[in-house]
Structure 1
């Protein structure tokens, strides 16, 4: 049972959630030189439950639609394949998704009681995205592109900053924007190997609609914009000089962008780029976080 849970929850990908919460915590420490341990635990638990829920819903609905039987798995995309091998665990997977969502709602409402109804502006869209992403949002190219980034950036990272400090600064918006761009790109690139399979079940994302080569240009634009946001935040004195440690991740981002553009239509050659992209989504925010702690 534990093995099934680890598969459908995609435990090995949950580190991204911890990076988002840690980045918000680092910003709070930089801005206020204080941080509530209880708030960090609550927010991290909520964020992990949200990530587990969306993953489990994805596993369940992709199994039910038959997509799991069509997708060629890679180490970084195509789902876990858990229900292909254990179809009798579909109900268990749905229960994981629903229970995790209930945990999100319960902790979210407790935070609303503590800090005000305004947090619902982040919580309600978050719950909607968790449930609708696989079934509905994947049928709209724009929503499919932006929903993952919005979930991790403008909702998870920004929401964490809001809970930790009680307010939102321009720096919080910038860091949430960077995460939004990175995570949108994460899911965008992961769709490249799944184009043929996704077509058969009615999905419509940009690699299907405009092709992989054109989608690679979106990928490059998002990476570039994320670094421009970081530099702009420094120039406007929203972030300290040390936050520019994030620019060191260009050592990974530049070859990644080149590889995505060059190998967009060669999935075998592109697969290492999927791993590089996951590394960038971790390294870039962690480098900014290190700069924020260095400043303090």
Structure 2
């Protein structure tokens, strides 16, 4: 077993994907400032730390359970850090037992901070946190293994979009706002698109072990169409939100990022069966989520 450093433990959590939890927390906080003029740095930091530790723990536990079902063990697609998990178990950096206990250690920290926020800010956060933690754990953990039932994509969109934005807004305001719900939907669609396009390179490994995600269920060719729906949905919601004044007018600037989505879609249709060539599409999808999220945050902080 290789010697472990702080960097080892950090990289095992796949921190390159933490933007998908940080950005919705920032958005929910920005909407609270925009709507009611409230901002607590302490509550924001607690929300951010709880969110990051929760995401980190779920990532590590997902590596453990994907080792148990052997989908990562037989996956030889050379696209790390995008697909196939951290591969720390497969490379002998962490043992399966170390991975399992580390995942629960991270989740425990998130739960403790979450309970503190529930005690300080109110009971609704308990239900938001419970749904997030339980669905995140059951995403890959048997006997539920939602990612093998065609439900994993929906749960990722729910957790890293709606629940996170609404939760961050509630922490600041102790209320739930319609604008927060509408603003969260594009992030739900785009974070689902990130997970979804990453399932294409893993197709054969997932299919072989019975990991029946949506790409496996639909088949690669038909699955390309759903990716178009996810990208289109996100931008349509932004336009509708502005029309009905749920989102600031400047939110429309996010449409300037649409070419990233178009290039990702085009690349996917051409290279859906060529994993190395999909790297560009995967990167474009991640950038699309980041840029759109950033513009929405700025639109709420600096409305016109």
Normalising by the smaller structure, the TM-score range is over 0.9
Match of 1:4 among 3, 8, 28: 8
Ranges of 4+ aligned residues in structure 1 off by more than 3 Å = none
State the distance in 1 between where 2:298 and 2:256 align: 12
Q: Quote how far apart the aligned CAs of 1:222 are.
A: 1.1
Alignment TM-score, normalising by the size of structure 2: 0.92
Match of 1:241 among 249, 258, 262: 249
Partner of 2:90, secondary structure, is helix
State the distance in 1 between where 2:300 and 2:182 align: 14
Q: Quote how far apart the aligned CAs of 1:200 are.
A: 2.2
**Gap runs ≥5 in structure 1:** none
Partners of 1:189 and 1:219 within 8 A in 2: yes
Which segment drifts farther, 1-10 or 232-241?
1-10
Match of 1:232 among 230, 240, 246: 240
**Gap runs ≥5 in structure 2:** none
Partners of 1:150 and 1:180 within 8 A in 2: yes
State the distance in 1 between where 2:253 and 2:94 align: 48
Partners of 1:178 and 1:226 within 8 A in 2: yes
Partners of 1:249 and 1:287 within 8 A in 2: no
Match of 2:68 among 46, 50, 64: 64
Match of 2:45 among 22, 41, 48: 41
Matching of residues 75-114 of structure 1 within 5 Å? 75=80, 76-86=82-92, 88-114=94-120
Match of 2:175 among 151, 167, 172: 167
Which one has the bigger helix percentage? 1
Alignment length (residue pairs): 295
State the distance in 1 between where 2:221 and 2:256 align: 27
Cα-to-partner distance string for 1:45-82 (whole Å, 9 max, x where unaligned): 11001110110001111223322221123041111111
Alignment TM-score, normalising by the size of structure 1: 0.94
Q: Quote how far apart the aligned CAs of 1:258 are.
A: 2.1
Aligned to 2:124: 118
Match of 1:16 among 11, 14, 20: 20
